[in-house]
Structure 1
Amino acid sequence: MSMDDLVGLLRVHVHRGVNLAIRDLRSSDPYVIIRMGRQKLRTRVVKRNINPVWDEDLTLSILEPLPVKLEVYDRDIFSTDDKMGDAEFDFKPFMEAVKMRLNDDLPNNTIITTVKPTRTNCLAEESHITWTDNRVIQNMVLRLRNVESGEIEIKLRWIDVPDHKRK
């Protein structure tokens, strides 16, 4: 990966999990892994909590808008960590909004685009891409797949990389 190909950085704020699956006796020790291409990032483990709050920022380097996969695991000490579901999100609509190069004339919290839940995406509810605090933001509630229950709330934020190419 050369830095010349870098489009920008996608800051994924992993806010919280809601009603996650129980994988230990009465609870779980969940953490989230985010993957895109060869990049893999993870949150800390929240002990004994099926409604964990991570409030953690993970930053992906974006070369092309590949799908982002989110996986939730239950941390186990003496055995392999148990899967607690996964989700995928497409940030192409978000990138389209970023490319609009909006400016500060827009009122705060203007909705640029609304992405509706479909059978093929993991959205649990409508997701708004907004112009908030002079940047493009997208809040998402992702319904986890391959598991009996659970949702993960995340927020996307774009970070421009200063133009470093020689003119």
Structure 2
Amino acid sequence: MVDRLLGILKVRVLRGVDLAVRDFLRSSDPYVILRMGKQKLKTRVISRSVNPEWNEELTLTVENPSLPIKLEVYDKDTFSFDDPMGKAEFDIRTLFEVVQMNLEGLPDGCVITKLMPNRQNCLAEESVIRLENGSVLQDMFLRLRKVECGEIELQLKWMNIPNGRSASLQDYL
């Protein structure tokens, strides 16, 4: 297995929709944790909301595109442990494959591929990978698991590393 930086993944945590209530006042104080391998990143806490708007960008370095990205949502508590509000997982293999294609000459806004929700992924609806301003973006809504309700909206943006090694997904499987 090769351990070399292949690119940077910018994960924009846009918002939560209909998140679980975990506080006394029929609300929550949610934040999101992203994990990929040994990396762990966290959004800020949004007070008293079950429909928080983070619009916060978290940056992951990618050495192995076959590693899943784990997302966890928690309710911040002051005098006790933070309450879990669900979790989800997604992979970036399809996004990585698209980045490796020759996309020159394709028009801005062009949809490269779509991923459909199924039992193996946490997608709540169709996820679109598209070209915008020369960047490959993926929009997704993730349905949270191990909780009564809630979805998280994300946008992924791949950033190539100048002089980075070109690898294929097969190198990591």
Normalising TM by the smaller chain, what interval?
over 0.9
Q: Look up the match of 1:90.
A: 91
For this pair of structures, how many residues does the alignment match? 162
Report the TM-score, using the length of structure 2 for normalisation. 0.91
Q: Deviations over 1:134-153 (max 9, x none)?
A: 11000000000000000000
Give ranges in structure 1 of 5+ residues lacking alignment.
none
Please identify runs of 4+ aligned residues in structure 1 that moved more than 2 A. Answer: none
Task: Calculate percent identity across the aligned residue pairs.
Answer: 57
Q: Tell me how far 1:101 sits from its aligned partner.
A: 3.5
Q: Which amino acid aligns with 1:73?
A: Y
1:94, distance to aligned residue in structure 2 (A)? 0.5
CA 1:115–1:83: 2 relative to 1, 3 Å? same
> SS at the partner of 1:154?
strand
Specify every segment of 5 or more residues in structure 2 that has no aligned partner in the other structure, as ranges: 166-173
Measure the CA separation in 2 of the matches of 1:101 and 1:47: 44
Counterpart code for 1:92: R
- CA-atom RMSD, angstroms? 1.4
If the length of structure 1 is used for normalisation, what is the TM-score? 0.94
Matched with 1:15 is 14
Q: What amino acid is aligned across from residue 55 of structure 1 in structure 2?
A: N
SS of residue matched to 1:131: strand
CA distance in 2, matches of 1:13, 1:146: 23
Structure 1 match to 2:70:
69
Aligned pairs for 1:2-151 within 5 A: 5-25=4-24, 26-65=26-65, 66-103=67-104, 105-151=105-151
Task: Output one character per residue of 1:103-124: Cα deviation in whole Å (capped at 9) or x when no partner.
Answer: 2x21111111110000110000
| Aligned-pair CA distance for 1:83 | 0.2
User: Deviations for 1:57-98, whole angstroms, at most 9, x for unmatched residues?
Assistant: 000000011100000000000000000000000110110100
